[in-house]
Structure 1
């Protein structure tokens, strides 16, 4: 690019200097020839000869060339050439040639004019212009050499600078490829494109580290939380096999073992749904839906469960809530919130399901009269298998809010946990899902 720009610059300079000189010479010759032709029409051959002699007399620089010959005899009538020169580039009216001028052989630019019975040659000595053109040509070649040198020098400097700025990134990525996930790209503090690239890479690495920690945490949680029900089911079956005295007791033990295994199967199904939601695999099922009708169906299903525990399920739902999303996952998320709220609300308490339409989003909230979640535990409430200390005695796997959070993120939304009634003891819990309509 540097060389191309330099070539364009030199071409413009050449056109503006050597080209301008040639155009200036041609213009002077043309004007002189027109003036002499006009003089011939006014005063004839005698006046033309006098005009040529006058021009030669006042030509101090000695670069004017004139020759007037009779057309038939080639007899010289006026001028400072002895004979008609031979054209080097054809027989046109304009040509370049070498002439003997004032005892010297010089290059000349000439123009031929045919007059009645006469031949007129008007030209200019180009010795000085040729020398200037030669100097310009030498300068052009020297400048091309300098351009190529500086182009390679600049390319080398830029390459080294880029390598120096990218070397920390290469080192970090090599360390990451070697298994050191704690490496991060250092920032230079300049705030340029390389620092922005480093920030994006570091954010990506932090996200990967978080996901890896989550995978390890899930693995540990699965090993810890599923070991107990599996061991319990196995112990019950072994005990029944060893101590059952009749078929009814053995059948009861087997049924209890099947129920325990069904619970484990439900945990795995919940994990699969969470993984699908977090991976975005369910976006293909997005379709327009009426969220108000979906919430009403969920409330109708869980109203009987609330009445069975002596609770009230109150709803505040607008008639129409248009949304685009996965109906099954949204229903599962709301069902999880209602199930948790009913589970932790004491008899005689109230569970509230409400929704509201904002200009760009839909808010769905579920509130209960239960013990609530402490501020310290709210940041972990959406993690898989996390259970607060006060809920350890309550049946569950700790995956309900994890699924709710995954579904909200799949729909580009978020969840917020807060006290239902801050001034009350216990304060209860309100979980709000914010879902954008776009």
Structure 2
């Protein structure tokens, strides 16, 4: 099954339409058979009554009276649909104009076609005749019949009406299926959009409930309970980490100051000074990590920045590039800029921190003599891209690297705390944007999409790969 038929909504719509049409066809067929049977029974009753009257005439007046009556009725018929004939013992038609029929023994019913004039609006030249064959004592057979053209016209009209009704039913079925699928999609859409935005970092979102208590409402309630539990667990971990960072920052600062005092005291040997230098560097690294943790906690606790001041993202990008151009030159890595003016709203310092972290990562992993691209283009949103020619990130790890302290095995030897991309994602989400990691083969592209200053709302999360 390919194309649109993969969609559950499409299949649901087709199922509803199919069930609707099947029920209509079964009902229509039942009505058609019932009406056809009823009309045939009425025709048989009329023929049976007429035949009984003629047989009584034959018994009372003999063959001559019967023949005269048949000729009178054929010459001046009271019922134009009535058919009469007298068939001899040898099978020849003695009275009437009907095809030769085999009489057989006993009373029996037969149906045959009788040529006749076309009826206006009815394109057929022949008519069905329902007839009863009644044997007479002298070996002849009395045929009493009834043209079924009225019944056939009624059934044909009924069939044409049924076909029109079937077309209407198909349209109504398709409409009912479409409305059903739209209703189901609408109910599931809340769940899908909430899951996508929660996956994008908006952990405070919940699925709206309508209080109906149906399956969708119960599913939304369970989903919200699950999100509450996840937010509670993540909040506990985050708070524990933040408290640890806050509580250890002061003693680490004291420790660093004491190590600095020891390093500057006279009488320390060169080996002791080297050891103290290493200890001070490790302490500085710990303080930097704890500082990043506290910054991350503050950013995540802040409200969305959509109402912040208007600023030019291209100017911030140019400043960040100017800051990192000398750092790249030390490793023969060139920064290539392609910046378009882009007005966004938000926190200038946080957006600058985002740019600095992205450029720092790109320059850190870019091979010597390569190029790091920084581009900013404007369409429906501001799209910032940072491209490098480094080892890249495997697809399976592209979501994991945004978590705190997550570092790939191949990157363990490089300096860093594993909080850079966590900070970047927190800043992007606070500004209503989206961040994606895209393989460049070789290298990695970090793409940040931010809403423009005049555009309300948030950028939709990226669609998951199938």
TM-score range, shorter chain: 0.3 to 0.5
Work out which of the two has the higher radius of gyration on C-alpha atoms and give 1 or 2. 1
When the two structures are superposed, what TM-score results if normalisation uses the length of structure 2?
0.45
* Higher relative contact order, structure no. (Cα contacts within 8 Å, ≥ 6 residues apart): 2
With the length of structure 1 as denominator, give the TM-score of the two structures. Answer: 0.48
